[in-house]
Amino acid sequence: MDQNAGSFLAMRRLSGGGIVHHHHSSPAPAEVMGASTAWIGRGLSCVCAQRRDSDARLSFDLSPIQEECLQRLQNRIEVQYDSSNLEHQKALKALWRASFPGTELLGLVSDQWKEMGWQGKDPSTDFRGGGFISLENLLYFSKNYPKSFQELLCKKNGDRALWEYPFAVAGVNVTFMLIQMLDLQAAKPSSLIGAVFLNLLLENDRAFDILYCITFKLMDQKWLDMNATYMDFNTVIKSTRRQLERELLLEDIQRIEDMPSYRFLAR
């Protein structure tokens, strides 16, 4: 985000009853906070939450309904993928059917999974960073925006690089990045971005899933615009994050579907 981000943030007004408290202590030096990224393939790493000198220090008091809404999403985020859980196995099989209809899956551990962009023949090992919600996000994308999902899975659009990003692992990265960007594991929002998103979540309890679809499609569009290759993934997803932050702070965003990048999605 550019150096004027602080003044830009102040332009976004909140609705929904959240009370904003400004803390006037001096901001901490800009830093990048590390995270465990064992699940991420070579050349791919998470875009970790950043603290910037220009960020205002804010805290938000939530109404009971806001707390309940946030807690429901946090409950989803806390669920880890469990390869022995029959419901998790069922969801993974459903993702395969949505991705490759008519192609029989030989097993939950199979080299076939590499065709979807998992790192190995057992996709459960790639969910460590994003948890079960990252599988839910991919499945929601496949069911609600199948045309866009297939375009990304099969790399149908644009002049693609010789070394493309692996679809499934990139999808887990997107989930992880959004959780960090929105600070969704905190008890309450600590940034204006997080507070704005919480209002959108109140309007639509599937806002996170829709934002995931928007983000994945936007990331692919930026990938093409930047003529990116595999090793450029971090640069592309950082650029994607900056655009999401700008769009969420626009005055006329009342629903998640109002985001300008929503137009990239096709059913």
Residue 214 lies in a domain: yes
User: Using an 8 Å Cβ cutoff, are 130 and 212 in contact?
Assistant: no
Q: Is 216 among the domain residues?
A: yes
Rg of the Cα atoms in the chain: 19
Low-confidence ranges of the chain (pLDDT < 50): 1-13, 17-56
pLDDT of residue 161: 85
Phi and psi angles of residue 6, each rounded to the nearest 5 degrees, phi first: -60, -45
**3-class secondary-structure state, position 92:** helix
| Backbone region of residue 122 per phi and psi (left: phi > 0; alpha: psi in -120 to 50; beta: other values) | beta
Domain count of the fold of the chain: 1
- Which residue in 46, 79, 58 sits closest to 188, CA to CA? 58
33 assigned to some structural domain: no
In a domain, 246, yes or no: yes
Report the SS3 class of residue 42.
coil
Domain presence at residue 15: no
Residue 17 belongs to some domain of the structure = no
Domain residue limits at 154: 64-97+123-264
Closest CA relative to residue 149, chosen from 206, 228, 220:
220
Whether residue 13 lies inside any domain: the answer is: no
- Sort residue 227 into left (φ over 0), alpha (ψ -120 to 50) or beta: left
The pTM is what? 0.81
d(CA 71, CA 118): 30
**Residue 181 located in a structural domain:** yes
DSSP bridge pairs for 51: 31
CA distance 19 to 231: 42
